[in-house]
Chain A
Amino acid sequence: MTDKDRILIIDDDNLMAQLVNLYLAKAGFEVFVAHSGREGLQEVDQHHPDLIVLDITMPEMDGWEVCSRIRQIDDIPIIMLTARGQESDKARGLKMGANDYMLKPFSLRELEARIGAVLRGSRLSAPSTGHLLHADEELVSDSDKLEVDVPGSRLPILS
């Protein structure tokens, strides 16, 4: 792992993806961009991002489905960034496991701040077990004690 947090942007709108990409890159993140839900899932598998910025309205596989598929195997923090402003959509997004929900039009600075907050929060609560298990079969995490069992030793996560 590099010290830079890796952010995956999934948005079918080129201009939007480019905008967020430019800003976050400048803010010091490593940014990946996917233009569809399917592509996004591949990127998750490939680059194991620390956080996903997810659009909802996309052709073929929409943001809801992407979110639920990711949550089946992983709990990478997800921030939904969408033009769907209805309360029911917001509630649905959070229920499905999104860590935050931002409505377009949005402020880039706020997005950056929220990304920071969500990343801090996720580090405090639970590591992305599924992801780690995926990486190494022998590694077992104990989210309650914030410890990770590596064969032969026991390491606290926050060290």
Chain B
Amino acid sequence: MTLIRIVSVTALLSYIFLLFLIRKEWHRREVRSFALFLVGMLIWQLGATAATFTSNPEVAVWCYRLAMGPGLMFAVFYAQFTRDYLRIRKHRWIMQLGYSSLVVSSVYILAGGPYVIEGIAPMPGTGFLVPELGPVALIQATIAYAFLFYAAANLILRYRQISDPPARARIRYLVVGLLLVFFGSISNLNPGLRGYPIDMVANALNAALIAITILRLDLFEISRAVRAGLAYAIPTATITAIYFVTIYLAVTLLHLAFGVELILGMLAVSVALSLLLEPLRSIAQARLDRIFFRDKYDMGQMLQRLSRMVAAVLDVHQVAAMMLAEITTTMHVTRAVLLLQDKESGNYLPLAERGFDGQAQVTPLGGDNPIPRWLKKRATCLAQHTVLVEPLFVGLWAEERLALEQAKIELFVPLLVGEDLVGILVLGPKRSEVPYSPEEQLTLLTLANQAAVAVQNARLYQIALEEKERTETIVQQAFSGIMVIDPSMRIVAWNRGAETITGYASRAILGQRLPEVFGPELWGEESALKRTMVTGQTQLPVELGIGNKNDVRDVLLGVTPLRDGYLLNFTDVTHLKEVDRLKSNIVSNVSHELRTPLALIKGYTELLIDGYEGDDQGLRLNFLSIIDSETDRLATFINDLLDLSRLQSGRVEQDFELLYLGKLIKEVTMALEIQRRQNNTLIRLEIPDDLPPILANSELMLSMTRNLIGNAIKYSPDGGEIRIQACAVGGQFILNVIDQGIGIAPEDLPQLFTRFYRSWTARQSGLRGTGLGLVLVKEAVELHGGTITVESQMNVGTRFTVTLPIPSAESTAKSSPVGLELQGAAT
């Protein structure tokens, strides 16, 4: 009698305790359905318990109606719980069927319809009022059993599929509990057993099993406070019990042995016990702590490890990989991805992942996707079920939802730096399939924020590194010389341009002081560097020569003050200066060549006008011939100059025509007859009559031959012989002009065809010349695709050989040869 009542009340209280345990997790679907199951059990238990306390048959019947009607709903709720817990989405109709049928029959039973409880009689022995069940009650019970079966089947099927030990253990406990409930209920079908509270005991045991599952196996994450309370209450209670029992025993034993109560002995025993039990207590406390708070310790350690690590590592990929490795191993997470914001697009792209092994990938999230927006706004973790219920995420496309489900994503953790969402840590379910507790979410959030800072640091470092590399490449590859010196004038940077310009390798130069390498033009009192040091202002480039290993280079040097040193930046202008020098040389040469004949013409004219000492007819004529020849010289020079500039403008080619060069040579020789006679030289022409024509510009050919033959006459000694040979060999027209003149020194040969250059022998001869004739010859020959070579021996003679291409027969046929009319050739 009393026993049954105690069992009933205990079962009732255990359900209330379970409800208390799970109260914090009601926002989760499976916890809600579990709570409904507990409420059902509670109602059932309430009915059954109430029935044991009454002797009024009317009340007992109503109690049993309550238990049989809404009470039996617990079976459906339990089935619903297994579906939610195991995430079963198929066969929704089963549940709909269950709900509708049970609701209908429950209403019927509660409303007091017939065929539910057909009679009630006190049970012999106990005196409890036991009902006689009608067909409706039996149907109701059958449906309830069917759903218990269904729930059991769900659990067992899943149990066979999974391999994760904690998950299996949890399902095992649930199945055992369920079987207890099942068999307890079945005992009610036997009228002989109905009076005994077997079902109640079974239900109470089930409740205990579930409680164990919750507490030990994380069926649901219960509140930290409950665990903490248990963790401290259990060792304290145990120790206190041991304390009292020991003292009681000691007192009794002492009393038995000595027949006296030794108060002082008691004290000694209790002190000894306190001393002995205290370490025991701490050991037990530590054990329990580890049981209840194991994951907390692990996570604490993980946080510590990761914060140490992320502070030290500067590579984004490494940080990401280490973070994912830690999280997946410590928190037993199946899979994890770190998405990082792409700076350009603003999208979140996977940087590192773990545990996917080629399965469904996490697709990149756009910057405008609701998930990053939510994370940024709330700055907290986002669980997948929130994604499914929050109205904000209605905007997600069906495919995106599907992708999320397929990738089995459970939690999104924001990586925040201030307001900036730099990345998202995406986590799959834990191995235990238990949802992430608020504690874990908080840990992950802390971790993610640390990681965010680390990622940001690593990125900044990466950017800085890339920027540095880029700048270094630019500086290194610049053609300008770049040198950086520190305030003590020690060279700390030296680029390739500087190496090229100065010829000093950076290896040799770095670390040296400026005065050890360069002259005072770079660092002396007057230098741009000194001015910058004094004024702190940038000096615009100035031209100066800097000495180096081999020679002096002309550079443009500018100086810029840096934070700790100076930047010297120089460009090689040696070549430009050389060109500039050549140009001004040409200008001064031209001016010289124009002014000298003019001065003579003017001077002698003046002399003729003013008169002079020893005025006579002969001298006067002499002066006039000087004026005449200087005028010619001026004219020739101007002609040569114009020819040269015409050649350089490259517009001569259009004037090409077929030309008999042999004939032209003979005509030029005739035109130079006066000069030949003046110089008293012999000219021997060795030119066959049947030479083929060449394609050439007649004016240029004229000036070329006139220059060559004219030179030969000019520099030949009295009575010297000049041979002019022409022949056609192998498609080439070859012209030789050989004299017995003063010759050209070997060192002059390389520069013979340089403008205004006159060989030493020519200058020594006192003969006038402009230094343009041979330049013209060479330019003209090369324009026609020919070559010119010169051999010479001092005081023996010189031989110029000109080779010009003879055009093929067909191109010759196109235009008929043109006879050449010689214009007055004067030299």
User: Which residues on A are within 8 Å of B, measured CB to CB?
Assistant: 12-16, 19-20, 22-23, 25-26, 35, 57, 59, 83-86, 89, 103-109
Contact = CB atoms under 8 A, between A and B. Distances in A.
Given A19-B604, A86-B587, A109-B606, 8 more contacts: A13-B596, A15-B604, A16-B600, A84-B591, A85-B588, A85-B595, A86-B588, A105-B602
A106 B613 contact: no
Contacts of A59: 760, 763-764
Nearest to A13: B596
A129 to B, nearest CB: 33
Contacts of B179: none
Nearest to B598: A105
A84 B587 CA distance: 10
B584 interface: yes
Contacts of A12: 766
B612 A16 contact: no
Interface residues of B, number: 28
B592 interface: yes
Contacts of B610: 23, 108-109
Interface of B: 584, 587-588, 591-596, 598-604, 606-607, 610-613, 626, 630, 760, 763-764, 766
Contacts of B591: 83-86
Contact of B607 (A14, A35, A108): A108
Contact of B592 (A19, A20, A84): A84
Nearest to B629: A15
Contacts of A109: 606, 610
A12, A23, A83, A107: residue with the most chain B Cβ atoms closer than 10 Å:
A83
Given A19-B607, A83-B592, A86-B588, A107 B602 contact: yes
A108 B608 CA distance: 12
Contacts of B598: 104-105
Contacts of A103: 595
A73 B610 CA distance: 38
A23 B764 CA distance: 26
A55 to B, nearest CB: 10
28 contacts: A12-B766, A13-B600, A14-B766, A15-B630, A16-B596, A16-B603, A19-B604, A19-B607, A22-B613, A23-B606, A23-B610, A57-B592, A83-B593, A83-B595, A83-B599, A85-B588, A86-B587, A86-B591, A89-B588, A104-B596, A104-B599, A105-B599, A105-B602, A106-B603, A108-B606, A108-B607, A109-B606, A109-B610
Contacts of A13: 596, 600
Nearest to B760: A59
A23 B593 CA distance: 23
B590 to A, nearest CB: 10
A107 B591 CA distance: 18
A57 B600 CA distance: 15
B98 to A, nearest CB: 113
A23 B596 contact: no
Contacts of B764: 59
B233 to A, nearest CB: 107
A19 B613 contact: no
Nearest to A102: B599
B744 to A, nearest CB: 15
The 3 closest A-B pairs by CB, nearest first: A104-B599, A83-B595, A105-B599
A16 B592 contact: no
B748 to A, nearest CB: 12
Contacts of B604: 15, 19
Given A15-B626, A107-B606, A26 B595 contact: no
Nearest to B622: A18
Contacts of B611: 26
Nearest to B587: A86
B600 A25 contact: no
Given A57-B592, A84-B591, A104-B596, A26 B606 contact: no
Contacts of B599: 16, 83, 104-106
A25, A35, A106: residue with the most chain B Cβ atoms closer than 10 Å:
A106
B592 A25 contact: no
B584, B592, B611, B763: residue with the most chain A Cβ atoms closer than 10 Å:
B592
B10 to A, nearest CB: 120
A20 B604 CA distance: 9
Given A107-B606, A108-B607, A83 B612 contact: no
Contacts of A16: 596, 599-600, 603
A85 B594 CA distance: 11
A23 B607 contact: yes
A95 to B, nearest CB: 17
Contacts of B594: 83
B715 to A, nearest CB: 16
A19 B588 contact: no
A105 B626 CA distance: 15
B584 A86 contact: yes
A20 B612 CA distance: 11
Nearest to A59: B763
A131 B596 CA distance: 33
